[in-house]
Structure 1
Amino acid sequence: MRASLIFAALVTMLVLPMGCTLPSVDLPRPVATEQTTAPTAAVQAEATRAPITPSAPTTTPAPLPAQAPLPTLPPELTNPLEAEQAALTALYRQVNPAVVSIEVVADHPPVGGAPFTVPTSQGSGFLFDDQGHIVTNNHVVENGAKFQVRFSDGTVVMARLVGSDPGSDLAVLKVDALPPGAAPLPLADSRTVEVGQRAIAIGNPFGLRNTLTVGVVSGIGRSLSGPASNSGGRFRIPNIIQTDAAINPGNSGGPLLNIYGEVIGVNTAISSGSGAFEGVGYAVPSNAVSRVVPALIRDGRYDHPWMGIGMRDVDPLLADSLNLPARQGVLITEVVPDSPAARAGLRSGTQIVSVGGRELRIGGDIIIAINGQPVRDSDELVSYLELETSVGDTVMMTVQRGDRQEQITMTLGARPRE
């Protein structure tokens, strides 16, 4: 009976729900008998344990003081921002249907069977006219075999390459059907673009279709390295627009716009050591588009006016160190045989000197004007040729030859194909 009572008391304790508050109880004592044995240590400890008392109730924290939400900014402060916001959203809705994503694939040589195509690049473009011509960059489509175009409404169509021009990094694709609402974008006169004006880019950075970024025109009159010439030098792409609107891989070929929704340039490159945007982007100016693209549509190619010279900028520092007869201009370092410059009688130098560890041929003509327009460096010369002249035009070159100036007439040729 003793064991039964002790066992019953222990069982009663063990089956109580954990975490519940226990009432104060006295454990039953074993009934004494003639042969009572000493209780175990565990039973003695249980019997002498202090009574369990209920825990104190949980205290509810007092509520924090009432606090009204911060007031919104007053209209006199937000109205200008609202106007800009409304303009950007309206511009995006209007322009976006004309901006496309371009997916390029190339033919792969046969591997154990038939040839197949593999994706090679992705870029952007925009609708140039109502006949399905799409402007993009040459570097987006070069080496491509097939081209797939995605419009903003989800329409996907195949396109064919109509023409391309490495010298301006422009190319034209054509689709045979347009989705509803897709209309061509108007071109601005890029000669009116000014530093500080708003610049809006729409394109497909990293494949993120129809992304808008906003910045300003941060520079004009830049030049980019273009295709190589037969003599080992490189032609330049002049009149480039610089912007801080975010441009990343995939934006190439998309439009750079002003606040009116007009194209001021075609996004083409970024200045970056990491491959991502670091604050300086470049766009081919719209006036180059208006000159080059119609020729690509018509002929599949564009002929750049060409003189046939190698050149080096002259500045006061170089003029003083080499005792040159002009303080600014373009020093002719090479005349290509049988070129327009050679036929016109322009002269290159005969003396070779070292400047900054590189050889430079001096003693040649220094171009200081073209058609009466002052030429202070090679960017100004190339810019004038690209925007103001065409193949077959006759121009008047003013050159400094020794201690005298001469006027030399030259008929421009077509830049040789690489």
Structure 2
Amino acid sequence: MDVSRTRTLRPTGFVAALACCVALLSGCNGSASPEEAAATKGASDTGQAAVPRAANDLQSDYLRVIKDVLPSVVQIQASQDLGSGVVYDDKGHIVTNAHVVGNEKTFQVTTANSEDALTASLVYSYPEQDLAVIKLDKVPGGLKAATLADSEKVEVGQIVLAMGSPLGLASSVTQGIVSATGRTVSEGRTGGGTGATIGNMVQTSAAINPGNSGGALVNLDGQVIGIPTLAATDPELGGGAAPGIGFAIPASMVKTVADQIVNKGKVTDSGRAALGITGRTFVDAHFQAAGVAVVEVEPGGAADKAGLQSGDIITKVDDTDITSMTTLAEALASDRPGQRTTVTFTRNGREKTVEMTLGEQ
């Protein structure tokens, strides 16, 4: 499975065919509950179609969350590219994806409550986690910061709303569920991608389209559980989008990175595990990727302390086979600095396994 970034160029024209159908089903036994009967009677008295009470409650939740959170989601326009962002605090800091800001330093920002563009400047971009923070040059009155959730409490099956500017359509909302947690996804470098390998991502069925990058994935408590970043693509469809498979950077990682950028102007504690090596993908005699060749060992780093040397070929981390730099990054993405792990490697044709304490990237 491949993934693609979700930013886009500002569209010069947009043609949309919309087909919406909602079916509300409440039982198939031919009899109505007292609550449903009351809802039906009330609807008959007012001349409106009957709607089950549970559906009314869910719709009310949607409306409440959208009204509460959408003002905290903005549209970000660089010189050519467009994406989304989330208001981080009342001082005008906005968190977004690093691939949205690219190499730009200044931006135009449009809030949900105004069509007038505001100017903003880059504070710091952290491509390793595909996150960045920009700051409004002038903070408008009533700017409302979003509330970030505890990522540990995100569960599969939770209803979520994705908010952003897909295809340049500002303040758009799509709905889905949390499909999975703990996903590790690698982003390509083509087309301005950062090449980041990101762990613990939230997978969602909510539609994530170009322009959603940097926006908000929100639960029904009105909390941002993640920053939509990637959409899956299907190579069998010519690289087209795989419907219903999108990924968001978890809110806890967003907070870890953004707090450092806001308070220190840069990221000093990545929270990302590393072996402390410079490596390259090793190709065997059959021209197949077969490991990671150690080019250089960082003095005093995790690999150095464990006895690895230049020329060693890493083939496994714990129980995960390592065939390339990408698989090595994916194996380490969900680990933390200070965590113990085992590394299997070959040296002069002989296989060895050592234990090491992971360092920090």
- TM-score normalised over the length of structure 2: 0.68
Does residue 285 (structure 1) correspond to residue 250 (structure 2)? The answer is yes
1:381 corresponds to 2:332: yes
Unaligned 5+ residue runs, structure 2?
Answer: 1-43, 190-194, 282-289, 321-327
Give per-residue Cα distances to partners, 1:33-53, cap 9 Å, x unaligned.
xxxxxxxxxxxxxxxxxxxxx
- Stretches of structure 1 lacking an aligned partner (at least 5 in a row): 1-67, 106-119, 229-233, 313-330, 352-360, 370-376
Which of 269, 280, 296 does residue 337 from structure 1 map onto? 296
1:397 equivalent in structure 2: 341
Contact 2:280-2:295 at 8 Å conserved across structures: no
For residue 156 of structure 1, report the CA deviation from its aligned partner. Answer: 2.4
Paired AA for residue 307 in structure 1: L
User: Is the aligned partner of 1:301 residue 2:266?
Assistant: yes
Deviation of residue 236 (structure 1)?
A: 1.4
How do 1:86-125 and structure 2 match up within 5 A? 86-105=60-79, 120-125=80-85
CA contact (8 A) 1:128 1:184 kept: yes
Distance 1:224 1:88 in 2: 29
- Cα contact 2:176–2:207 (8 A) shared by 1: yes
The sequence identity of aligned pairs, in percent, is 36
2:198 partner SS: strand
In structure 1, what is the equivalent of residue 323 of structure 2? none
Residue 408 of structure 1 is matched in structure 2 by: 356
Residue pairs, 1:328-367, within 5 angstroms: 333-339=292-298, 340-347=301-308, 361=313, 366-367=317-318
Residue of structure 2 equivalent to 1:251: 212
Q: Give 1:282 shift.
A: 1.1
Residue 184 (structure 1) aligns with: 145
Q: What is aligned with 2:158?
A: 197
Deviations 1:336-392 (A, max 9, x none): 4232233212447979xxxxxxxxx57x675369xxxxxxx974632122xxx3xxx
Aligned to 2:173: 212
Question: Quick one: distance in 1 between partners of 2:128 and 2:188?
Answer: 6
Query: Which residue identity does 2:253 align to in structure 1?
Result: A
1:156 matches 2:117 = yes
Provide the C-alpha distance between the structure 2 equivalents of 1:308 and 1:227, rounded to a whole number of angstroms. 23
Question: For the pair shown, which has the larger CA radius of gyration, 1 or 2?
Answer: 1
Query: Which residue is 1:115 aligned to?
Result: none
Q: Is the 8 A contact 1:335 1:342 kept in 2?
A: no
The one-letter amino acid of 2:340's match is: M
Equivalent residues of 2:226, 2:249 under 8 A apart: yes
Distance 2:317 2:78 in 1: 45
Q: With CA pairs under 8 Å and 6+ residues apart, which has the higher RCO, 1 or 2? A: 2
Match of 1:116 in 2: none
Per the TM alignment, residue 258 of structure 1 is displaced from its structure 2 partner at its CA by 0.8
Structure 1 counterpart of 2:86:
126
**Within 1, Cα distance between the matches of 2:280 and 2:335?**
15
Structure 1, 84-93 or 334-343: larger mean CA deviation: 334-343
1:48 aligns to what?
Answer: none
Moved more, 300-309 or 178-187: 300-309
In 2, Cα distance between equivalents of 1:121 and 1:248: 14
Contact 2:88–2:146, Cα closer than 8 Å, also in 1: yes
In terms of fraction of residues, the more strand-rich structure is 2
Aligned AA (1:338): V
TM-aligned CA distance change 1:405 to 1:205, over 3 Å: closer
Structure 1 residues 269 and 350: CA distance shift in structure 2, 3 A: same
Residue 100 of structure 1: how far off its partner (Å): 0.6
Task: Give the 3-state SS of the residue equivalent to 2:100 in structure 1.
Answer: helix
Contact 2:82 2:168 in 1 (8 A): yes
Give the SS at the match of 2:243.
coil
Q: CA deviation at 1:287?
A: 1.3
SS in 1 for 2:260: helix
What amino acid is the match of 1:295?
Q
Q: Which residue in the other structure is 1:61 paired with?
A: none
What is the CA–CA distance in structure 2 between the aligned matches of 1:311 and 1:82, rounded to whole Å?
A: 56
- 1:335 is displaced (CA, Å) by 3.3
| CA apart distance, 1:176 | 3.7
In the superposition, relative to structure 1, how do residues 245 and 405 fare at CA in structure 2: closer, same or farther (>3 Å)? same
Q: Is the 8 A contact 1:199 1:257 kept in 2?
A: yes
Alignment-mate amino acid for residue 197 of structure 2: R
CA contact (8 A) 1:333 1:349 kept: no
Cα distance in 1 for residues equivalent to 2:167 and 2:88: 23
